[in-house]
Amino acid sequence: MRVCLKVQIPVEAGNKAITDGDMQPKLKTLMDQLNPEAAYFFPQDGMRTMMLFFDLKETSMIPPITEPLFEGLNAQVDFSPVMNLDDLMAGLRKIESSR
């Protein structure tokens, strides 16, 4: 299932990770693990924020993804199922054909 992973890193934890040299390796590990189809990075709500769009093959992937973010970066983490245009159009066709 295609999902959006939103990660928000508080300023203090982010500053510490950058100072300690941990931020880049953590991000590289996450990117290698997820192989996202898109990744965006921006400030939001006064925190470093990223949104990654990737295929969550099974829900048992959630703990290995989230725990390093919680433990190492004190991050807030949210998952949302998302659709691309093809997914949306297929869903709409299913609705229309059932009427």
Domain boundaries, the chain: 2-97
Asked if residue 98 has pLDDT above 90, the reply is no
Whole-angstrom distance, CA of residue 28 vs CA of residue 47? 19
pLDDT one-digit tens code per residue, 68-83: 999 999 999 999 999 9
Report the mean per-residue pLDDT for the chain.
97
Hey, which bits of 56-96 come out as E strands?
76-81
| CATH H superfamily, domain 2-97 | Dimeric alpha+beta barrel (3.30.70.1060)
pLDDT tens digits along 28-55: 999 999 999 999 999 999 999 999 999 9
Longest dimension (CA), the chain: 59
At how many degrees (to 10) do helices 23-34 and 11-19 cross? Answer: 100
Q: Which of 49, 41, 81 is nearest to 62 (CA)?
A: 81
